């Protein structure tokens, strides 16, 4: 035989599954009915919950009434706990024998640093489980009536962070030429603060200033707002409408479908700008 190598899949048969000491739970974008059944069960049985500010009050209401709930989120202007502190707290509780539900907005492995928390648990040898959640992009697409990959308009969807990151050239960890490609939908998480720069860079790298673009604020919650405009006009729209976090930015031709589809979306409360 030549150079045939088998890939070994490490699965539940390789080691007996220890009961998870920490469960990283995706809380979804806000509407509690968008939780997975598994997440809803874990919340109903929880004794200790560490949660972020993206977790909606409606989802928190699903937690067992006698559970201890500790807020470890980051409110926009001050950090109540740095990421290392959150990880330490989680590890301390787990080592003390507590079963920890770590409740994170959206999906634990889509931005929001859940990957780092899982890494820390793995390094510490603490058994954990991850329950996926509906990420903000999916929640917002459905509730705002923006089909991310409608095949007449987009063959790709790209999820990126618009958060400035130290140490990166120009402040962003982004590959601009790739983002400015045609026939794709761009979903920008954490992009509100840097929206004017993001809009300018995308235009500089070749996207038409008139590309349809939208901001979806508090997607899937009763107070959701959807503001539609053009790539170049979006920063002024966000400012004049005083858009607040959490909000997602979507850029691409699929945004044109919003007026037609939002009337049939989950939350018919959208305001078109």
Which parts of this chain interact with ligand SAH (CB under 6 A)? 29-30, 54, 104-107, 110-112, 135-136, 140, 189-190, 216, 218-220, 245-248
Nearer to ligand SAH, 9 or 144 (CB): 144
CB of residue 48 vs ligand SAH: minimum separation in angstroms? 21
State how far the Cα of 248 lies from the Cα of 67, in Å rounded to an integer: 31
CB of residue 116 vs ligand SAH: minimum separation in angstroms? 12
3-state DSSP assignment of residue 265: coil
State the alpha helices, DSSP H only, in 56-187: 57-60, 83-95, 114-124, 136-144, 176-179
Tokens of 110: 């889509």
State how far the Cα of 250 lies from the Cα of 140, in Å rounded to an integer: 9
Per the CB < 8 A criterion, the answer to whether 254 and 150 are in contact is yes
Measure the CA dihedral 87/78/198/252, to 10°: 70
State how far the Cα of 32 lies from the Cα of 19, in Å rounded to an integer: 26
Nearer to ligand SAH, 107 or 117 (CB): 107
Nearer to ligand SAH, 91 or 137 (CB): 137
For this structure, is 38 an active site residue?
no
CB of residue 110 vs ligand SAH: minimum separation in angstroms? 4
For tokens 């500089």, name the residue: 204
The number of residues in the chain equals: 273
CB of residue 139 vs ligand SAH: minimum separation in angstroms? 6
Choosing from 74, 107, 152, 175, which is the catalytic residue? 74
Q: Residue with CB nearest ligand SAH? A: 106
For this structure, is 204 an active site residue?
no
* DSSP conformational letter for 232: T
Nearer to ligand SAH, 105 or 229 (CB): 105
What are the backbone angles phi and psi of residue 197, rounded to the nearest 5°?
-70, -40
CB of residue 264 vs ligand SAH: minimum separation in angstroms? 19
172 closest CA partner among 160, 182, 183: 160
Nearer to ligand SAH, 135 or 185 (CB): 135
Instruction: Tell me the catalytic residues.
Output: 52, 74
């Amino acid at each position: 035989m030549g150079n045939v190598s088998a890939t070994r899949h490490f699965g539940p048969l390789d080691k007996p599954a220890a009961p998870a000491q920490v469960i990283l739970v995706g809380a979804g974008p806000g509407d509690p009915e968008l939780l997975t059944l598994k997440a809803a069960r874990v919340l109903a049985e929880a004794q200790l919950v560490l949660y972020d500010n993206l977790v909606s009050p409606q989802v928190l209401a699903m937690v067992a009434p006698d559970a201890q709930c500790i807020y470890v989120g980051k409110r926009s202007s001050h950090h109540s706990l740095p990421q290392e502190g959150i990880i330490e707290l989680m590890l301390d509780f787990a080592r003390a024998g507590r079963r920890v539900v770590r409740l994170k907005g959206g999906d634990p492995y889509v931005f929001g640093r859940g990957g780092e928390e899982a890494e820390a648990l793995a390094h510490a040898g603490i058994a954990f489980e991850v329950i996926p959640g509906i990420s903000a992009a999916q929640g917002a697409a459905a509730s705002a009536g923006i089909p991310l990959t409608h095949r007449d308009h987009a063959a790709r969807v790209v999820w990126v962070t618009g958060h400035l990151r130290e140490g990166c050239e120009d402040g962003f960890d982004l590959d601009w030429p790739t983002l400015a490609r045609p026939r794709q939908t761009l979903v920008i998480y954490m992009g509100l603060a840097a929206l004017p720069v993001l809009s300018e860079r995308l235009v500089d790298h070749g996207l038409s200033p008139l590309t349809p673009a939208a901001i979806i604020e508090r997607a899937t919650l009763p107070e959701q707002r959807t503001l539609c405009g053009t790539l170049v006009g979006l920063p002024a729209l966000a400012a004049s409408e005083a858009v607040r976090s959490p909000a997602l930015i979507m850029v691409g031709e699929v945004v044109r479908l919003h007026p037609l589809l939002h009337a049939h979306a989950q939350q018919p409360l959208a305001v078109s700008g």
